[in-house]
Structure formats: C-alpha cells, structure tokens
C-alpha cells in the first residue's frame, strides 16, 4: 500500500474482515468502546494487502490489552507498560513484519510512560493504538494519568489532585513523527487515521477516545452529542483550512502562540500542515481542548517523515557486512595479538 510496508510480504489472496477474527470469545463488558475499535481494526486490516502471518499485535496489561487475543494474527499479550519495548525488539529484528501495539492510558502513560516516549523519539516502526478512557478499568475504577483533576474515584474519594497528561502534547514533545487522535464511535474516521498511521514509516501514535461504560461512562459525551459535537470538534486535514462548526462557520486564526476563533472568510485562517518538521503548530493544536472540550481536534496532528529506527539499524548491519564482509568467527578468534605454542 505504501513504502512503509515495502518489506512486508503481500498476501496472495485478498483477505476479508473475517480472516482477522480469531476463534476466541470476546470478553469485554457489554457496551464497551473496545468492541467498536476491534471491529474497525479487523475491517481495516485487509486493506493493507499484506500477509496475515506477517502481522503482529503486541499489548501490555489492561482491558485494551486483551485485543491481540481477538485478532487472528500473531499476538503477544505481555506485561504492564512494556509493549512498546517488546515491539521495539520485534520490529527491529524483523523488518518484514507489520507490528501494532495496543495499549491504554494507564498502560502507556503511567507504568509504561518511559517506553512510549522512547519508542516515539526513536521512530521505531510500530503503530501504537492508545485506547484512552481516562480511567483504570481492569482494576475497577481508579483514576488514570488522563483523568481530569478533581475526579472522584475509588482511590480518590475527595477528588484526584493529579494534573492529567495530554497524550497528544506528550507524544509531540517526545519527538513523535506521527501523532493522531480519533474516536471509538466514528468508524470511518478511525479507519482513515489507521490508514495514515500504517503509511507512516516509523512510530505512529494514535490516541483513540474510548468510552468505558462501566467506570467512566460518557467521558467523551460532548464529542458524541449531536447538538454540540460539530461546534467543538475540529477535523484536521493536511493542506486544508481549519474550518469547523455545524454550519462550517468557524475557523482558527493565529493569535500569538495560540489561536482564536474567527470567520472562515478571514484571510489569516490557519491551513493545517501535518508534514512540517517544526512541531509547533501540531503542539498548539493539541492544546485546544484545554480547558476540556473547548475545542477538540481529531485527525492527524503531525505526520513528518524521518528515517525509522529499524531502517537505520539494519542499514548499519548492511554497511558493516559490505565493508568488513560477513562475520568470520575463526578470523575473529585469531584477530589481534595471538601467539603460538608448539
């Protein structure tokens, strides 16, 4: 489909959505947003045209991390927070694989925060789907690193005193080359973002707003409410002016380091540039939803190509072989200062 998958073998036959469904019973709570994401991913994968056996889903721990069991591909359900690290080794050792990481806000941003930021800065060839429901689900309802300050949960009866992460800001700050956001409930948009992520050579971070109907129901209600959503949702498209609103009557105008809302007719309407190496615009856009839900951009914030980690690493291997020849163990052992005893 793109150069990003050039080294992954193509499927001989066209695959269908059902080819990606495993025989395992899906065990998320009824009504969980994960079902919609699973269906969207399973429906999207055939588009890539690659062999199913060359697709790997790696996850950590949490509700979202059960995901690999439901994909009829290779899968690795690992330990809490470590999926990006494990996927880094896999993707670096095997350039012929399409490696996907499924993680959650606790998994990726609390216990695994270090691995996430380093995978992004290295631009490791993995696609990270971060299901953000702003709560700990599997441990039954504690506040997460994306929970809003003041949130009352089982572990914060008087309200959380933590300030939350903004995953998009964090990913851009971590030198992420591809950073995007989408919604569990908008299948078409979700798949369009997956498409863009798959086309990126290197690490792609896709934040997926996902509803936990048991412990944090309605967390994204403003974005789903038909009355309000179009006035606060900003759909990012590269090269397009940042115009939004139910009647497409609002637009973003540069204002210092941030934006103000103005008219689409204003000559200074900002045109989205996801490809620019300078992350400033993407970062400024990521701050638009603070305070919460003022305006929420969805889509690709940043897609600025640079060489992926695996390509650089393997290029060094190829260069070393070209310059020094294939390694010769006997020659290595006898190299340098040796002496013979007769």
Partner 1 sequence: MTKQVQQLDRVIIRFAGDSGDGMQLTGDRFTAETAEFGNDISTLPNYPAEIRAPAGTIPGVSSFQLHFADHDILTPGDAPNVLVAMNPAALRANIGDLPKGADVIVNTDEFSKRNLAKVGYAASPVEDGSLDDYRVHAIPLTSMTVKALEDFDLSKKDAERAKNMFALGLLSWLYHRPVEGTIGFLERKFAKKPEIMKANVAAFQAGWSFGETTEDFVTSYEVKPATLEPGLYRQITGNTALAWGLVAAGERSGLDVFLGSYPITPASDILHELSKFKNFGVRTFQAEDEIAAVGAALGASFGGALGLTTTSGPGVALKAETIGLAVSVELPLLIVNVQRSGPSTGMPTKTEQADLLQAMFGRNGESPVPIIAPLSPADCFYAAIEAARIAVKYRTPVFILSDGYLANGSEPWKLPEVADLPVIEADFAAPDQEDFQPFRRDPETLARPWAVPGTAGLEHRIGGLEKADGSGNISYDPANHDLMTRLRQAKVDGIANDVEPLRVDDPDGDARVLVLGWGGTYGAISAAVRRVRKAGGKVAQAHVRHLNPFPANMAQVLKSYDKVVVPEINLGQLATLLRAKYLVDVVSYNRVRGLPFKAEELADVIRDVMHSD
Strand order in the sheet with 250-255: 243-244, 250-255, 258-262
Residues near 281 by beta carbon (within 8 Å), at least 6 away in sequence: 270, 272, 273
> Cβ distance 107 to 65 under 8 Å?
yes
Q: 55-59 and 98-104: which strand pairing?
A: parallel
**What are the two backbone dihedrals, phi and then psi, of residue 92, each rounded to the nearest 5 degrees?**
-75, -35
For the bound state, the minimum distance from the C-beta of residue 1 to partner 1, rounded and expressed in Å, comes to: 18
For the bound state, the minimum distance from the C-beta of residue 336 to partner 1, rounded and expressed in Å, comes to: 7
Tokens found for residue 329: 């163990």
Q: State the alpha helices, DSSP H only, in 152-288.
A: 167-173, 187-199, 221-224, 229-232, 280-286
Strand-pairing partners, residue 303, are 178
Residue number, 158 or 341, with CB nearest to partner 1: 341
For the bound state, the minimum distance from the C-beta of residue 342 to partner 1, rounded and expressed in Å, comes to: 6
> In the chain, what is the greatest distance between 2 CA atoms, to the nearest angstrom?
93
Residue number, 127 or 181, with CB nearest to partner 1: 127
Q: Within 10 Å of residue 297's Cβ, how many Cβ atoms?
A: 24
> Cβ distance 52 to 15 under 8 Å?
yes
Residue number, 157 or 340, with CB nearest to partner 1: 340
For the bound state, the minimum distance from the C-beta of residue 181 to partner 1, rounded and expressed in Å, comes to: 25
> Cβ distance 229 to 223 under 8 Å?
yes
Residue number, 269 or 313, with CB nearest to partner 1: 313
For the bound state, the minimum distance from the C-beta of residue 92 to partner 1, rounded and expressed in Å, comes to: 6
Residue number, 163 or 335, with CB nearest to partner 1: 335
For the bound state, the minimum distance from the C-beta of residue 256 to partner 1, rounded and expressed in Å, comes to: 35
Residue number, 80 or 224, with CB nearest to partner 1: 80
Tokens found for residue 210: 């996902």
Cα-trace Rg, the chain? 22
Query: What distances in angstroms separate CA 240 from CA 187, 190, 234, one per listed residue?
Result: 22, 19, 12
For the bound state, the minimum distance from the C-beta of residue 262 to partner 1, rounded and expressed in Å, comes to: 43
Residues near 154 by beta carbon (within 8 Å), at least 6 away in sequence: 140, 141, 142
Residue pointed to by tokens 């631009």: 123
For the bound state, the minimum distance from the C-beta of residue 76 to partner 1, rounded and expressed in Å, comes to: 6
Residue number, 218 or 307, with CB nearest to partner 1: 307
For the bound state, the minimum distance from the C-beta of residue 137 to partner 1, rounded and expressed in Å, comes to: 17
Instruction: Residue 90: name the closest of 80, 76, 108 by CA.
Output: 76
Residue number, 71 or 284, with CB nearest to partner 1: 71
Tokens found for residue 316: 């060094």
Instruction: List residues near partner 1 by CB under 8 A.
Output: 9, 22, 24, 51-56, 58, 61, 68-69, 71-79, 82, 84-94, 96-97, 114-115, 117-118, 313-314, 316-317, 319-321, 323-327, 329-330, 332-334, 336-342
Residue number, 161 or 312, with CB nearest to partner 1: 312
């Amino acid at each position: 489909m793109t150069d990003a998958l050039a080294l992954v073998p193509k499927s001989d036959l066209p695959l269908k959505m059902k080819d990606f469904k495993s025989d395992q019973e899906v065990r998320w709570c009824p009504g969980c947003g994960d079902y919609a994401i699973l269906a969207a991913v399973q429906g999207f994968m055939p588009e890539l045209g690659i062999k199913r056996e060359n697709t790997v889903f790696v996850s950590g721990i949490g509700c979202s991390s059960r995901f690999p069991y439901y994909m009829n591909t290779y899968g690795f359900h690992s330990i809490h927070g470590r999926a990006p690290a494990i996927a880094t080794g896999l993707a670096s050792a095997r350039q012929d694989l399409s490696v996907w990481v499924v993680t959650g806000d606790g998994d990726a941003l609390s216990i695994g925060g270090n691995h996430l930021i380093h995978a992004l800065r290295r631009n490791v060839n993995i696609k990270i789907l971060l299901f953000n429901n702003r709560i700990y689900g599997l441990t039954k309802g504690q506040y997460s690193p994306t929970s809003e300050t003041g949130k009352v949960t089982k572990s914060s009866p008087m309200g959380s005193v933590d300030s939350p992460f903004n995953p998009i800001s964090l990913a851009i700050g971590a030198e992420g080359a591809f950073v995007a956001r989408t919604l569990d409930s908008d299948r078409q948009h979700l798949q369009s973002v997956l498409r863009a992520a798959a086309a990126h050579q290197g690490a792609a971070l896709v934040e997926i707003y996902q509803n936990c109907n048991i412990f944090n129901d309605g967390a994204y209600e403003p974005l789903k409410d038909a009355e309000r959503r179009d006035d606060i949702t900003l759909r990012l498209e590269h090269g397009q002016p940042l115009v939004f609103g139910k009647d497409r009557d609002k637009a973003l105008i540069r204002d210092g380091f941030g934006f103000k809302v103005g008219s689409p007719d204003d000559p200074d309407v900002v045109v989205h540039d996801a490809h620019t190496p300078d992350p400033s615009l993407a970062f400024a856009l990521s701050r638009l939803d603070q305070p919460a839900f003022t305006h929420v951009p969805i889509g690709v914030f940043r897609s600025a190509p640079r060489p992926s980690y695996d390509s650089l690493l393997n290029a060094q291997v190829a260069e070393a072989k070209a310059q020094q020849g294939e390694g010769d163990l006997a020659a290595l052992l006898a190299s340098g200062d040796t002496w013979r005893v007769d």
